[in-house]
Structure 1
Amino acid sequence: MNRLETRELAYFVAVARERHFGRAAQSLGIAQPPLSRAIQQLERRLGVPLLVRGSRGVSLTPAGEVLYREGLTALDAVDAAARRTQRAGRDERRLVVVMKPGGDSGLLTDIRASYTASPDAVAVEPLICGIGEQEGLLRDGTADVGFLHAPYDDLTGLDSVELVEESHVLIAHRAHRLAGHAVVSMADLKGERQPRWPRQRSPYSLDAPDGPLIHDAGQLMQLIALGDVVAVLPESARDHLRPDLVAIPVLDAPTTRVLLAWPLDSHDRALSAFVRAAVEVADRRRQADLAG
């Protein structure tokens, strides 16, 4: 079978996304007839139908569903390769480390200090993003390495190493009914309005009314301060807590694993040195916690 071309893959993905040749042609900035011919030629080359054509648009065949999914991944990889190539050609090499606010569990400062001692170290550029954006920025080549959280972030196409495991605390306003408790359980939170996260419901909801969709930490803390929601968050959330909020240990909440993640098959020496420094810093923290 002949190799797929990036252009025809982009054409097919546009049609599959829009489910309509006219709208796809408009999004691509081309006329509809050459787009239709390109898709027909692609189907002939692959030897399978990709689309079911109808008067109101198109739908995907099982083969089309596969090519759409794989095509998105392939096009993202091409874009990522271009970004990484452009970044590698800059005069000053930088290692871009992506994380949501507080997502490093307080490790990055020590990791960067340890990393600078390596002969392979380059300048470290932190990239602070919104909740759930880290994985996309790693895949598209914007960032080299990032802090993710299991089991909630998607690690498809990424390699990773576990750094620390965090227990959880309830973050609530000081006037909340649970604010005076030394500890709480998940059962205590039944019926409480809790936030929703991008691409998933609250990981700790317990038959709770769905709250607002959260995109960044500042938004969440403001809503908690207003008494609109409470949130169960990793222990490190208490490090920069506002004075009008409290953090209460949740005894039976599942733990979160803080991971360092990077694109699969990366052989960059600067990245490897950063990962080694991160593992060493995390090991020292665990040893200190055990000792005291």
Structure 2
Amino acid sequence: METRELSYFVAVAEELHFGRAAQRLGIAQPPLSRAIKQLERRLGVVLFERDSRQVTLTEAGAVFLHEGRKALDAVAASVRRTQRAGQPVRKLVLVMKPNTDGGLLGDILAAYASEPESVGVEVLMCGIGEQAGLLREGQADAALLHHPFDDTSGFDVEELRVEGQVAVVPRGHRLAGRGSIRLADLAGEVLPRWPGMPADAPTGPVVHEAAQLLQLIALGQTIAVLPESAGDELRSELVCVPVSDAVPIVSMLAWPERSTSRSLAAFVRVAADLAAKHRQSESTFAPVRPARSTPQS
């Protein structure tokens, strides 16, 4: 199967209109229709239900759209990574949200710099929920992700830290003086929406980055449940209240599966070693499961 065929299918599946899809692709509609019919014959399944009024995806088509997008993203990512690997000056790009490293990154970068296989590290800051996408697109070599919030499919991971969650509220909030709360205590509160959340998610303001969120909380527009490390650099008008029954947050270093980069392997080893030492010195951290795999060196 050619990437051209996948691109044709994805365009039709996203537009659900052959004319708009043809215009988007810059081709005539008849060859696009023929290409889709040929694709269905080769796959042996119907991808679209068509009538005079509309085009809809079949169940098989919905699955193929999900998988086709991933395949096209993987091809584009491989091109970007290959181009970056061929640059005269090598570097490792790490993507993360601001203030989400649990205080580890400075030590990791210092220790990594002394490794024989180290290269320069560029830290790419991004908005909420963007790290995994940038890593999949090949714009980064590794990312700091957080379970259960980030999708780690297609990545190998090294778990670095496990922490509880806290409710971040204004000092005058009804929950501010509590020693701890449960999730049920948040009933009726306005909670923020992150980009890409489903339609049945909270109906509060859409938040794209941490500074915006803290400003909205300070203004009384919302509250938020965040990892407990969010309290390390909290504004003076905000307080953290532990949420006793919230699921733990696992901070992890992620990279593309089956990576063979020696410089990335060295970075993962350094991060894992320092995270283990950090856990030993901080008795409040929960035990962390072993990593799934590391890049081959």
TM-score between the two structures when normalised by the length of structure 1: 0.90
Task: Find the counterpart in structure 1 of residue 265 from structure 2.
Answer: 272
Task: Find the counterpart in structure 1 of residue 214 from structure 2.
Answer: 221
Taking structure 1 as reference, are residues 41 and 291 closer, same or farther at Cα in structure 2, changes over 3 Å only? closer
Q: Is the counterpart of residue 102 in structure 1 residue 70 in structure 2?
A: no
Taking structure 1 as reference, are residues 200 and 45 closer, same or farther at Cα in structure 2, changes over 3 Å only? closer
Q: Which amino acid aligns with 1:94?
A: K
Q: Which moved more, 1:245-254 or 1:212-221?
A: 245-254
**Percent of pairs with identical residues:** 59
Deviation of 1:60 (Å)? 2.4
| SS in structure 2 of the partner of residue 211 of structure 1 | coil
Q: Is the counterpart of residue 12 in structure 1 residue 27 in structure 2?
A: no
Structure 2 unaligned regions, length at least 5: 286-297
Task: Find the counterpart in structure 1 of residue 20 from structure 2.
Answer: 23
- Of the candidates 72, 77, 83, which is equivalent to residue 69 of structure 2? 72
Q: Is the 8 A contact 1:167 1:253 kept in 2?
A: yes
Deviation of 1:291 (Å)? 9.7
Q: Matched residues in 1 for 2:61 and 2:214: separation? A: 43
Deviation of 1:173 (Å)? 1.3
Q: Deviations over 1:47-82 (max 9, x none)?
A: 433222211232223332332222111111110011
Task: Find the counterpart in structure 1 of residue 289 from structure 2.
Answer: none
Q: Matched residues in 2 for 1:256 and 1:217: separation? A: 17
- Of the candidates 162, 170, 175, which is equivalent to residue 172 of structure 2? 175
Aligned pairs, how many? 283
| SS in structure 2 of the partner of residue 195 of structure 1 | coil
Q: Matched residues in 2 for 1:71 and 1:263: separation? A: 18
TM-score between the two structures when normalised by the length of structure 2: 0.89
Q: Matched residues in 1 for 2:88 and 2:42: separation? A: 43
Q: Is the counterpart of residue 38 in structure 1 residue 35 in structure 2?
A: yes
Task: Find the counterpart in structure 1 of residue 186 from structure 2.
Answer: 189
Task: Find the counterpart in structure 2 of residue 155 from structure 1.
Answer: 152
Q: Is the 8 A contact 1:164 1:282 kept in 2?
A: yes
Q: Matched residues in 2 for 1:11 and 1:34: separation? A: 10
Deviation of 1:32 (Å)? 1.0
- Of the candidates 220, 227, 230, which is equivalent to residue 234 of structure 1? 227
Task: Find the counterpart in structure 2 of residue 85 from structure 1.
Answer: 82
C-alpha RMSD of the superposition: 2.0
Q: Matched residues in 2 for 1:235 and 1:70: separation? A: 36
Deviation of 1:94 (Å)? 1.1
Q: Which moved more, 1:239-248 or 1:121-130?
A: 239-248
Q: Is the 8 A contact 1:97 1:145 kept in 2?
A: yes
Q: Matched residues in 1 for 2:236 and 2:249: separation? A: 25
- Of the candidates 281, 284, 287, which is equivalent to residue 280 of structure 2? 287
Q: Which amino acid aligns with 1:276?
A: R
Q: Matched residues in 1 for 2:85 and 2:74: separation? A: 16
Q: Deviations over 1:98-157 (max 9, x none)?
A: 111222222111111111111111111111111111111111101111111112211111
Q: Which moved more, 1:182-191 or 1:216-225?
A: 182-191
Q: Deviations over 1:155-179 (max 9, x none)?
A: 1111112111011222111222232
Deviation of 1:9 (Å)? 1.4
Q: Which amino acid aligns with 2:101?
A: D
Task: Find the counterpart in structure 2 of residue 166 from structure 1.
Answer: 163
Q: Deviations over 1:3-53 (max 9, x none)?
A: x01111111111111111101001111111221122222233334332222
Q: Which amino acid aligns with 2:65?
A: Y
Q: Matched residues in 1 for 2:54 and 2:184: separation? A: 49
Q: Is the 8 A contact 1:21 1:57 kept in 2?
A: no
Structure 1 unaligned regions, length at least 5: none
Q: Deviations over 1:75-95 (max 9, x none)?
A: 111100111011111111111
Q: Matched residues in 1 for 2:48 and 2:191: separation? A: 42
Q: Matched residues in 2 for 1:27 and 1:162: separation? A: 42
